[in-house]
Amino acid sequence: MRSKVAQKILDETPEEVRIFVRQYTDIVVRIQELMQQNGYTQKDLAKKMNKKPSEINKWLKGNHNLTLKTLAKLEAELGAPLIFTTREHANI
C-alpha cells in the first residue's frame, strides 16, 4: 500500500517521465546482464570502448543520457541487442 505522499507524487509525475524511467531502467538492466555474461567489469567495458570508467558508471546510474550512437556502440561491444524495435520483434 502506498502512502498518500507517494501516491500524490506518482499522480503528478508526467507520463513521459514514467516511460523514460522505465525504458532507461530496462536498458541499464540489459547492459548489466550482458556485461555479466561477457565477464566484463565497468572498467573492462570502459577500456574496450575507449571511455573513462566514470562515464560507464554515469550511464549505468542514470546520470548521463544515452544516445542512440552510444547504444549502438554498446551493442557492438557487448555482442547483443539492448533494445528491440518492432521489426526485430517480427523476426523473433
Q: What is the pLDDT of residues 25-68, one digit of tens each?
A: 999 999 999 999 999 999 999 999 999 999 999 999 988 889 99
Residue-level pLDDT at 8: 86
- The pLDDT of residue 92: 55
Answering whether pTM is above 0.75, one says yes
Q: Spell out the domains of the chain, with CATH numbers in brackets.
A: 15-90 (1.10.260.40)
Confidence of residue 85 (pLDDT cuts 50, 70, 90): confident
17-34: b (≥16 Cβ within 10 Å) or e = eeeeeeeeeebbebbeeb
Sign of CA dihedral 29, 63, 69, 37: negative
